Every structure is written in structure tokens, then in C-alpha cells.
């Protein structure tokens, strides 16, 4: 009886370590990145739009694309964060 179940158990273990576990780790990293976002962060959306976060709520992010344009996105539409925007250096 155990010999007939053993291949299925081994397949599940292989699937867990090759597919399920890495996906869970990737999702955890993404959630940490989304929770760490703040005003002034430069981000890229899943559509490839680059912008700087101007306003945030729990679900919505407003990005400044240029000096005039502000676009509203769902927080889940953020693909990755680039860096914090720093104030321009004063010219001497």
C-alpha cells in the first residue's frame, strides 16, 4: 500500500520545493516592497510608466509623471521601486 502512495508524496514534495515555496517567497517580498513605499519614491508600474509617488492611501497611489501630470493607480499596479527622489542640489 505504501509503495503505491510514495510516488505521489515524492511528486508533491518536488512541486512544493520547485514551484510553491519560491512563489510564496516572491509574493512575500512583493508585499514588503509595496508596504515600504512612501512619498517621493520613484516607481515603475506594471505598464512600464515611470513616476514619483506624490500621494498614497491604503489602495491608491498618485504618481507625478512630469511637472504637470499626476496619474492615479491602484497600489497593486506598482511593479517595482527605483529609489527615493532627492532634492536638487543648489547651484553655487
Residues 8-53 pLDDT 10s: 999 999 999 899 999 999 999 999 999 999 999 999 999 999 999 9
Model confidence at 72, in pLDDT bands (50, 70, 90)?
very high
E strands, 13-77, are: 41-45, 50-56, 60-64, 70-74
Percentage of the chain exceeding pLDDT 70:
87
Contact 78, 34 (CB under 8 A): yes
Amino acid at each position: 500500500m505504501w509503495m503505491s502512495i510514495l510516488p505521489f508524496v515524492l511528486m508533491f514534495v518536488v512541486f512544493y520545493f520547485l514551484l510553491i515555496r519560491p512563489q510564496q517567497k516572491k509574493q512575500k517580498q512583493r508585499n514588503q516592497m509595496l508596504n515600504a513605499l512612501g512619498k517621493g519614491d520613484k516607481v515603475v508600474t506594471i505598464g512600464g510608466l515611470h513616476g514619483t509617488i506624490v500621494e498614497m492611501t491604503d489602495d491608491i497611489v498618485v504618481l507625478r509623471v512630469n511637472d504637470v501630470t499626476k496619474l492615479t493607480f491602484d497600489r497593486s499596479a506598482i511593479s517595482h521601486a527605483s529609489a527615493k527622489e532627492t532634492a536638487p542640489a543648489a547651484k553655487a
